Amino acid sequence: MIRLIAGLGNPGPEYAATRHNAGFWFVDEVADRLKVSLAPERSYFGLAARASVAGRPLWLLEPTTFMNLSGKSVAALARFFKIEPAEVLVVHDELDLLPGQVKLKLGGSHAGHNGLKDIHAQLGPDYWRLRIGIGHPGVKAQVIDYVLKKPLADQRVEIQKAIEQALSGLDLVLDGEMDRATMKINARPPKPKPEPKPERPVAATPETKAS
């Protein structure tokens, strides 16, 4: 059962619209759906909100430690409320998925993501992750600059679609049905059907020409 959803990102208006803040975007949407407001919580080094889901408490968290120290915030809240790693869902941007793609998984490596790396150091690897695709610049040396920039307009639209795809499985996540949630969230959305091509007019022949 998920008891904590933590979205990763960097605090401050200069980072709000950057690719690295995709985790914040998701948590903002969840807070809106659950009708709660995130507020500063010094004890947890971030913005936090407590929601009630079927009579159970659910915490939402956006660390304000900057990405590299995300684990400091996530671990502080998790330890205070005795939340196990398997009851934590961390939402983050994912270079290895294209914009528009999203994947839910349990455990695994941090794959060089600095936010996950710090959470690994604090909680170990056995927590749930929601990976929101942002694409890759193609050159490793450009990654830092890439994640700290705003996505192109069409990429932002695709990232929002991925967030909505993940939100479609939110009820299953909150009900603890993680296998079904994984299948629903990870399913590729159907491609839109191409519009039928207009029929070409038949060329007139001598027999069909008006007399």
Dump pLDDT digits (tens) for 185-200. 998 766 656 666 666 6
Domain span at 134:
4-186
Is 60 exceeded by the pLDDT of residue 15? yes
Q: Is residue 57 part of a domain?
A: yes
pLDDT average, residue stretch 93-111:
94
Has residue 167 got a pLDDT over 50?
A: yes
Residue 112, pLDDT score: 86
Q: What is the pLDDT of residues 27-52, one digit of tens each?
A: 999 999 999 999 999 999 999 999 99
Q: How many domains does the chain have?
A: 1
Q: Which of 14, 4, 1 is nearest to 150 (CA)?
A: 14
Domain membership flag for residue 201: no
* Residue 168 counted as domain residue: yes
Mean pLDDT computed over 126-140: 96
Q: What is the pLDDT of residue 211?
A: 36
Give residues with Cβ within 8 angstroms of 196, minimum separation 6.
Answer: none
pLDDT score of 199: 65
Is residue 205 predicted with pLDDT exceeding 60?
Answer: no
72 is a domain residue: yes
Q: Is residue 202 part of a domain?
A: no
Active site residues: 20
Q: What whole-number distance in Å separates Cα of residue 52 and Cα of residue 206?
A: 77
CATH code where residue 49 lies: 3.40.50.1470
Asked whether the predicted pLDDT for residue 209 surpasses 60, the reply is no
β-sheet with 88-94: strand ranges across: 39-41, 46-53, 56-63, 4-7, 88-94, 128-133, 102-106
Is the CB of residue 9 less than 8 Å from the CB of residue 114?
no
Residue whose entry in the numeric block shows the structure tokens 């929002």: 160
Question: What is the share, in percent, of the chain residues with pLDDT greater than 90?
Answer: 85
Q: Is 58 helix (H, G, I), strand (E, B) or coil?
A: strand
Across the range 154-176, mean pLDDT stands at: 96
Task: Identify whether 203 is part of a domain.
Answer: no
Q: How far apart are CA 54 and CA 75, in angstroms?
A: 25
pLDDT at 4: 98
Domain membership of residue 160 (yes or no) is yes
What pLDDT does residue 13 have? 97
Report yes or no on 206 lying in a domain.
no
